[in-house]
Amino acid sequence: MPWSKWNRADKTLLAAAVLFAFSLCLHLSFPESLFAKGLLFCTEAALVGGVADWFAVTALFEKPLGFPWHTALLPRRRAEFMEAAAKLVRREFFSRQAVFSLTARYDWKAVLLRWIDSESVRNMLITEIRRIIGNVACDIDAAEKSKEWAAQLRHTLLSVPLSRILEATTIWLRSDANDQRLFGALSSYLRAWAIHPETRDQLAALFERIREEKLAGAGFLMNLLAGVASAMNVINFDDLAACAQQEALRLLDEADDPDSPFGRRLRGAFYEKLEALGENETAQEAFAAARGAFLRAVPLEQAIETGLSSLVSALRTDLPATEASDVRTIIDETVKNEVNRWISLVSADESIQNMISALTNDVVRRCALEAQIMSVTIVRDALGDMSDKQLNALVYDKVEPDLLWIRMNGSIVGAAVGFVIFLITAATGRLL
């Protein structure tokens, strides 16, 4: 082996051997010399200590000089070493406390919220939702679904009692001033009819017809008095019709005002009659008959199939953008708005953020603990795939300076101990 490749421990051991050979020659030349005896004693102890420590260090990794007993400890104890290394990694580097402490340093919620709020995620969500909607729509059998939905719709409509419909109608009318708009529309329609001059003429003709019907069955005296009153213009049906027209317009104005006495009475009577109508058996029978006839006459299957087929065609994602219908444009815009609204809600709602924070922390910690288990497996697999030479090199490279000093200390300490023992034996006069 070239001298440049010798380490410090080898050089120290070689130096001890050279000094021992020199000391032995010196002692043989001057057997009575105390210096020669002491130098030989020290160099001999240094050589023995260096060789012993060389043997001990080498026995950790291989068989020194082919010695088979209790040598090559690391290759023979490979399984124990792998298990100890795995436990060390898990306990020191990936312990539960260390993992949780490391994950707690980062604001995972903020990281996730920034990722969700990115433009790429928005586009990904919009595209994926549209794809799912399109796939679901393409799998729909319009003819089969139309029959199923039409049957369900008929059953639902036929099972709803009149009282429930009237109750829902009452609730709807009382909410958001819908009844005010309804009475206002009716008042406007009736006012347009009542204010027309033809209405006044119709009222005058009605009053005249009523007079004639009454006089047709009356006696001679009543006809005579009616003729005198008509000749003297005591009863003027045109004026009576004009008065009735004005009164009707006044009542319609009050009906349009919910705060007027007539308006309140009118609404109260309307809701009272509406409630009583739901308990009227005749009305219930008539409603049931009319509803059944209407639902049988209406082609629900055809209407639903036509609408569903159009919707499915509009939702197809394989159509070019130039062939997209207004329905598809509306759905695309709706999906986009809903995704943006959801992301804004997630970014603004504190309760949702707390849920996200708890979820992300739990997921990160679980992933970290899984990494702990994986790290143990990786250590075992990595060490198991190494040859004995590679395993020895891995350990030796990490502790080489300390092992070299152990070997050097064997020679140094051996020389020091030999020197002390020589001084003691020399002082007691028991030189070997």
Over residues 190-229, the pLDDT tens digits come to 778 778 778 777 777 776 676 566 655 555 444 555 454 4
Q: Which of 302, 330, 349 is the last residue before a domain boundary?
A: 302
Instruction: Give pTM, 2 decimals.
Output: 0.40
Q: Are residues 153 and 285 in the same domain?
A: yes
**Between vectors from CA 179 to CA 178 and to CA 182, what angle results, nearest 5°?**
90
Question: Which residue range(s) make up the domain with 22?
Answer: 3-72+388-428
Residue range 184-192: mean pLDDT, rounded: 81
Residue 87 maps to a domain? no
Of 302, 332, 349, which marks where a domain is finished? 302
**Same domain for 403 and 271:** no
**Cα within 13 Å of Cα(401), Cβ side:** 1
Are 197 and 295 found together in one domain? yes
The answer on 280 and 194 residing in a single domain is yes
Q: Which of 302, 334, 349 is the last residue of a domain?
A: 302
Q: Does residue 421 belong to any structural domain of this protein?
A: yes
Q: Are residues 63 and 150 in the same domain?
A: no
Are both 206 and 293 inside the same structural domain?
yes
pLDDT tens-place string over residues 149-162:
888 888 888 888 88
In terms of domains, do 192 and 284 share one? yes
Same domain, 150 and 66: no
Q: What is the tally of structural domains in the chain? A: 2
Environment class of residue 45 by beta-carbon count within 10 Å: exposed (0-12), middle (13-18) or buried (19+)? buried
Residue 349 lies in a domain: no
Same domain, 67 and 147: no
Encode pLDDT of 377-394 as tens digits. Answer: 766 777 677 777 776 677
Question: Which residue bears the tokens 């970014």?
Answer: 347
For residues 50 and 20, the answer to whether their CB atoms sit within 8 Å is no
Q: Which tens digit of pLDDT belongs to each residue from 17-53?
A: 888 888 888 888 888 888 888 888 888 888 888 888 8
Residues 152 and 289 in one domain: yes
